[in-house]
Amino acid sequence: MRIEPFAVEEWMNEYEEGAKFNTAETCVDSISIDDLLGLAGKSREEFFSSLCSRRLTYGDIQGSNALRSGIASLYRTIGKEEVVTTHGAAGGNHHVFISLVSPGDHVVSVMPTYQQLYSIPRSITSDVDVLKLRKENGYLPDLDELKRLALPDTRMIAINNPNNPTGAVMDRDMLCRIIEIADKCGAYLLCDEVYRHLGQDDEWCESVADLYDKGISVGSMSKVFSLAGIRIGWIATHDEDARKQFLSHRDYDLISCGMIDDVIASLALENKEKILERNRGIIRSNLAILDDWIHGNSHFSYVKPQAGTTALIHYDFQVPSYKLCKDLYTETGAFLTPGDCFEEPYSFRIGYACNKDVLEGGLKAISEYCSRL
């Protein structure tokens, strides 16, 4: 199976390690096991003595009850038996496409977004249409355009909410209108919801899995819970046929998610409110810093994110985005992601949910570098 190179991941693989100011990172400032134990009010001894005595079997093949109940608690209507655990959301998205899409199927995917959502279906079927999210629409989908693209036999519509890289959010009303379109064709609606629960306000961010029987939500512990190191993700859906397909494919490429990862994720989910409070505090105060910086720099413009950890920033220098980001990195150690990774020229993506000093240091370095252009 041939697949297009994953532009963002290739960029991160090459440069992330040496960054001085890593503002390309998309997780909310990652935490250690010690940080997690601190938030959970648990002692090291208590945690490690029960962990260290466990035999390292595959563990619960489909994920422990604690893990799947914890994941289900992030939804309004999903039960723990409706959750399929995966290796991160990356594994979740991949799993959904290979389980449900076949050669010849028609898929509609948004862009810009995480590249999996259009490149994986393109690797399976030649019939993929892209629904462009435009700056002038606040990076929300044009629903008339979606109506034109959706065909009577469309197999799947793939969206991402909140959106990476723009931080745009589709509200309940817009999701319901997309569901109407999907339902008319009998299509699955896959929504990558890896940044859900990271809103700039306290409004509940809806999941397609709660709103539509053929809605498929993909999430993970990486961004919202700052635990990318444990590689736990999931797929949640009411659709039983789809779940059967996921579990069948899962037997071939995953078996289980690993018992140590399961224990850590379960503990985090048991303490989800404390982690969410920390992480919402970070994204809200850091976005205020970024917003001030944008308003003080006439060369840059953006649509202010409503949620998530990233913003897409356009600039008016006549420098291609890969060159700008590479030169910035070499000269200052500040690390951004080129907009061309998302097919958005003359822009870059910034991850603003990092440590505050890293964000401030990175923004200062970008200002100094850009003043020489």
Residue ranges that bind ligand PLP, judged by CB under 6 A: 26, 88-90, 114, 160, 164, 192, 194, 220, 222, 228, 233
Closer Cβ to ligand PLP, 16 or 35, answer by number = 16
Least Å distance, CB 195 to ligand PLP, is 7
Cis peptide bond N-terminal to 103, omega within 30: no
Least Å distance, CB 68 to ligand PLP, is 17
Closer Cβ to ligand PLP, 47 or 223, answer by number = 223
Least Å distance, CB 26 to ligand PLP, is 5
DSSP 143-208: HHHHHHH--TTEEEEEEESS-TTT-----HHHHHHHHHHHHHHT-EEEEE-TTTT-BSSSPPPP-H
Closer Cβ to ligand PLP, 59 or 165, answer by number = 165
CA-closest candidate to residue 316, choices 358, 343, 272, 347:
347
Alpha-carbon span 135 to 158, nearest angstrom:
19
Alpha-carbon span 173 to 175, nearest angstrom:
5
Closer Cβ to ligand PLP, 164 or 321, answer by number = 164
CB atoms within 10 A of CB 53: 7
Least Å distance, CB 8 to ligand PLP, is 7
Closer Cβ to ligand PLP, 47 or 193, answer by number = 193
Least Å distance, CB 240 to ligand PLP, is 25
Residue nearest to ligand PLP (CB): 88
Least Å distance, CB 4 to ligand PLP, is 16
Alpha-carbon span 43 to 265, nearest angstrom:
17
Least Å distance, CB 194 to ligand PLP, is 4
Alpha-carbon span 122 to 362, nearest angstrom:
36
Closer Cβ to ligand PLP, 22 or 47, answer by number = 22
CA angle 313, 314, 315 (to 5 degrees): 120
Alpha-carbon span 33 to 337, nearest angstrom:
28
Closer Cβ to ligand PLP, 229 or 320, answer by number = 229
Closer Cβ to ligand PLP, 59 or 233, answer by number = 233
Alpha-carbon span 69 to 239, nearest angstrom:
18
Contact 226, 191 (CB under 8 A): no
Tell me the pairing of strands 83-86 and 337-338: unpaired
State which H helix or E strand residue 259 sits in: helix 259-270
Least Å distance, CB 223 to ligand PLP, is 7
Alpha-carbon span 267 to 150, nearest angstrom:
41
